[in-house]
């Protein structure tokens, strides 16, 4: 059966990229009519796998990332309604409940319906005041028409086999004038000059730009009232109002198609260059080992350093990750530690293996090891790239 584009309905899908270490055998396609980037096959109901902490396409099922997006979502909801008013909210993909708990605290009369398919984390919302939990996929949830004032969906839409159909249903269950608060990964991150991890993971079937996500939301009958922040290359966060008129027709967009191809070409070339540079990063870190090296961040960038840079994790005095520590015990033979362990370890060097949270991590590290030299992954990679180019 010929696959068609979820946004414009075209069959002009061209395979352009095969992700590294895909367990599902996915291939990334670009729609030659509207520019939406999407992965095929759309195996959204694959058997649930164990947690995989990887820099490749097989990353997933750790389920802690949504917690980083709680504040921006709660703030948006409170801009759209009176926090002292009575209102109903649908939380799509409620995950470990960080958003639900924060909103319930900020809005004392809010009522939440939390929908989460993963029973391993769904119970985080069980027993919360003013909260109804449905352990279900959003496509299968039985929800009344016109029931909700607000619908919150955080990093869920990219997992769905048919997000346009689900957005249509979001429109149905919202009251007239109700608000959609939507958050998704931003494909613009592919243009980052320091990317080393595989961005196209198996769990994500759609890869939205600001343009393609906005068009899909509008085609479902919403009017965007808060546009995505163009300064955030990692996330697409927008707020939309349920509108009366629905015009689902999506015209061709040659400019968006061209942008998608250019971004993919840039990503492939930049990532290949950076993976080669990781060998020099690993060599620099091995040379620093006698000083006692602690590394903060054991996730995707760290895995890429070991896998592609051939870094020997046994050279570390300490490996810290405050979030992964709760879910996995070790990474590449190193037990995961907490920040407080820096006091006893007394490293001479602390390497921050994070892109978006580097400054906050560095500030925290200085509290526990004020005498240590702080090195950022981005600086290490930049030096390695310079040496590679010489």
pLDDT tens-digit readout, 305-359: 999 999 999 999 999 999 899 888 899 999 999 999 999 999 999 999 998 899 9
Greatest Cα-to-Cα distance within the chain, rounded to the nearest angstrom: 67
Burial profile 169-201: b = 16 or more Cβ within 10 angstroms, e = fewer: bbbebbeeebbbbbbbbbbbbbebebbbbbbbb
pLDDT in tens, 154-196: 999 999 999 999 999 999 999 999 999 999 999 999 999 999 9
Residue 154: CA count within 13 A, CB half-sphere: 28
The number of beta carbons lying within 10 Å of the beta carbon of residue 18 is 12
| Phi then psi dihedrals of residue 258, to 5 deg | -60, -40
pLDDT in tens, 60-93: 777 677 888 999 999 999 999 999 999 999 999 9
Question: Could you identify the residue written with the tokens 């994070």?
Answer: 354
| Phi then psi dihedrals of residue 250, to 5 deg | -120, 115
CA distances from 50 to 53, 60, 95, 327, 337 (A): 10, 8, 16, 11, 22
Q: How far is CA 231 from the centre of its chain?
A: 16
Across the range 37-50, mean pLDDT stands at 82
Token reading at 196: 């080393």
Q: What is the DSSP string of 337-356?
A: E-TTHHHHH--SEEEE--ST
Strand (E) positions, the chain?
A: 13-17, 27-31, 37-40, 87-92, 110-115, 131-134, 148-154, 174-185, 206-207, 222-226, 235-242, 293-296, 318-320, 330-331, 334-337, 349-352, 373-376
The percentage of the chain sitting over the pLDDT mark of 70, rounded to a whole number, equals: 98
- Supply the DSSP symbol for 51: P
Q: What is the DSSP string of 213-247?
A: HHHHHHHTTEEEEE---TT-SSEEEEEEEE-S---
- Mean pLDDT rounded to a whole number for the chain: 94
Q: Does the pLDDT of residue 40 top 70, yes or no?
A: yes
274, 195 contact by CB (below 8 A): yes
Q: Which domains does the chain have, with CATH numbers?
A: 13-252 (3.40.50.150), 278-389 (3.40.50.720)
pLDDT of residue 36: 98
Token reading at 382: 């930049």
CA distances from 384 to 189, 194, 292, 388 (A): 21, 11, 21, 6
């Amino acid at each position: 059966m010929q696959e068609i584009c979820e946004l414009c309905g075209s069959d002009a899908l061209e395979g352009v990229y095969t992700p590294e270490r895909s367990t599902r055998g996915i291939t990334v396609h670009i729609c030659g009519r509207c520019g939406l980037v999407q992965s095929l096959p759309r195996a959204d109901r694959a058997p649930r796998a164990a947690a995989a902490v990887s820099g490749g396409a097989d990353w997933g099922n750790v389920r802690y990332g949504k917690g980083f997006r709680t504040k921006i979502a709660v703030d948006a909801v409170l801009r759209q309604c009176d926090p002292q008013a009575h209102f109903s909210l649908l939380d799509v993909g409620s995950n470990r409940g960080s958003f639900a708990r924060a909103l319930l605290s900020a809005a004392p009369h809010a009522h939440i319906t939390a929908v989460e398919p993963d029973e391993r984390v769904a119970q985080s919302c069980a027993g919360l005041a003013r909260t109804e939990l449905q352990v279900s996929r959003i496509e299968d949830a039985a929800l009344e028409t016109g029931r909700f004032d607000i619908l919150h969906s955080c990093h869920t839409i990219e997992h769905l086999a048919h997000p346009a159909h689900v957005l249509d249903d979001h429109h149905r269950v919202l009251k007239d004038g109700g608000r959609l608060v939507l958050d998704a990964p931003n494909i613009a991150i592919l243009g980052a000059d320091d990317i080393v991890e595989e961005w196209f993971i198996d769990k994500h079937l759609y890869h939205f730009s600001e343009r393609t996500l906005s068009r899909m939301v509008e085609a479902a009958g919403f009017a965007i009232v808060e546009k995505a922040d163009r300064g955030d290359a990692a996330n697409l966060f927008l707020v939309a109002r349920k509108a009366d008129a629905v015009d689902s027709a999506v015209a061709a967009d040659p400019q968006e198609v061209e942008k998608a191809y250019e971004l993919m070409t840039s990503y492939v070339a930049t990532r290949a260059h950076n993976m080669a540079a990781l060998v020099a990063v690993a060599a620099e870190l091995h040379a620093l080992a006698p000083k006692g090296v602690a590394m903060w961040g054991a996730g995707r960038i760290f895995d890429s350093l070991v896998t592609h840079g051939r870094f020997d994790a046994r050279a570390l005095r300490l490996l810290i990750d405050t979030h992964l520590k709760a879910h996995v015990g070790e990474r590449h033979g190193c037990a995961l530690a907490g920040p407080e362990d820096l006091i006893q370890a007394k490293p001479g060097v602390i390497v921050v293996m994070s892109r978006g949270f580097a400054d906050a991590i560095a500030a925290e590290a200085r509290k526990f090891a004020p005498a240590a030299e702080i090195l950022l992954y981005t600086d290490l990679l930049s030096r390695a790239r310079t040496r590679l180019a010489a």
